[in-house]
């Protein structure tokens, strides 16, 4: 999958989020990068920031939190087109959940794991 198609899957996933998620997202930037830094190994994605529940009243003027979705580790899974798109979606949802402060157990209940 080329970069443009990969980014389209990420964008479609973000656009398909339920309204309650869109209403909660605050100060967040989602990007695609080719490779994770060495310290993250073969991570598929990462959330960098302060989750919404952890933000105190003095949280203002901060740079946006970032979700980074890594393309090459996804491609190395060697999945067919359908399964690759499902895995990208799963990664995006997982990282959005970190931003929202959703625990892994709740992710399973939501079907986002």
Please report, for the domain that includes residue 28, its CATH number: 3.30.2010.20
Q: How many separate domains does the chain show? A: 1
Strand order across the 28-33 sheet: 28-33, 65-70, 45-48
| pLDDT computed for residue 103 by the predictor | 83
For the entire predicted model, the pTM comes to 0.90
Q: What is the mean pLDDT of residues 48-66?
A: 85
| pLDDT computed for residue 6 by the predictor | 98
Instruction: Domain of residue 49: give its range.
Output: 3-110
Tell me the per-residue pLDDT of 59-97, one tens digit each, with 9 for 90 and over: 777 789 999 999 999 999 999 999 999 999 999 999 999
| pLDDT computed for residue 59 by the predictor | 75
| pLDDT computed for residue 112 by the predictor | 67
Mean pLDDT score of the chain: 92
Residue 21, SS3 per DSSP: helix
């Amino acid at each position: 999958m080329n970069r443009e198609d990969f980014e389209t899957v990420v964008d479609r996933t973000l656009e398909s989020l339920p309204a309650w998620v869109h209403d909660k997202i605050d100060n967040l930037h989602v990007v695609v990068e080719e490779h994770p830094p060495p310290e993250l190994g073969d991570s598929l994605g990462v959330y960098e920031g302060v989750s919404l529940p952890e933000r105190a009243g003095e949280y203002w003027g901060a740079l946006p939190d970032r979700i980074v979705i890594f393309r090459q580790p996804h491609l190395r899974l060697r999945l067919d087109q359908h399964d690759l798109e499902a895995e990208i979606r799963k990664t995006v949802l997982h990282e959005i959940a970190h931003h929202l402060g959703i625990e892994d157990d709740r992710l399973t209940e939501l079907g986002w794991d």
